[in-house]
Chain A
Amino acid sequence: KNEVEQSPQNLTAQEGEFITINCSYSVGISALHWLQQHPGGGIVSLFMLSSGKKKHGRLIATINIQEKHSSLHITASHPRDSAVYICAVKKWETSGSRLTFGEGTQLTVNP
């Protein structure tokens, strides 16, 4: 069983829909990251969370440390949001800032 699990693996939505991607982890963490990966491989950091909630534009990320769960929400989705969204954690026992990743959620938003 992976230490970081995401659901769903694939998600197709219509433009304008509210989207939720979930991440559960089974290890102690000091931080959780949400990343966006576009075709061609480039990864962009969206959020880094250790508690509570963060918002940036149409994106909202929440984390519940007790339940070991995080969600990424996209409001008023748009085709340009189509990408792979990856959850990654910084485990307490690992060195530096090395990250442990989920397998990603492929999001497709149709016009």
Chain B
Amino acid sequence: GAGVSQTPSNKVTEKGKYVELRCDPISGHTALYWYRQSLGQGPEFLIYFQGTGAADDSGLPNDRFFAVRPEGSVSTLKIQRTERGDSAVYLCASSFQAGVGDEQFFGPGTRLTVL
């Protein structure tokens, strides 16, 4: 009965490096969401998956950001050539399906710091 898990919980990297952030949704949840939360702000939408496909990636800020969910379960958010402005908490959420009445369950987040 595990909830949404995210690894690592903290990641410190240097400007220009590549990072991968992992999200394990609740088993059986078909929809998976990535959000980014900067300090003192509310979360902002990045991308959402329905199954294996990215149904909406309109929130990805630029082409340095990419996410995959190859088997419809675990998802990886990938950031190339990291910049200091990428520092934030990256939140993952999952829901049984992507619909109006569906509750999202959030993971604890990965705090990314780019030095």
Contact = CB atoms under 8 A, between A and B. Distances in A.
Contacts of A45: 103-106
A50 B102 CA distance: 12
A95 B91 contact: no
A104 to B, nearest CB: 5
A95 B103 contact: no
- 6 smallest CB-CB distances across A and B, nearest first, come from A96-B98, A101-B42, A41-B109, A43-B106, A95-B56, A30-B100
Nearest to A92: B100
Nearest to A90: B100
Interface residues on B, range: 20 to 34
Contact of A48 (B37, B50, B91, B103): B103
Nearest to B100: A30
Interface of A: 4, 30-31, 33, 35, 40-45, 48, 50, 86, 88, 90, 94-104
Contact of B45 (A4, A31, A40, A99): A99
B109 A88 contact: no
Q: Chain B contact residues: over half helix, strand or loop, or mixed?
A: strand
B55 A31 contact: no
B72 interface: no
Given A31-B100, A48-B101, A98 B45 contact: yes
B42 A42 contact: no
A17 to B, nearest CB: 24
Contacts of A43: 43, 91, 93, 106
A103 B44 CA distance: 10
Given A40-B108, A45-B105, A103 B45 contact: no
B103 A42 contact: no
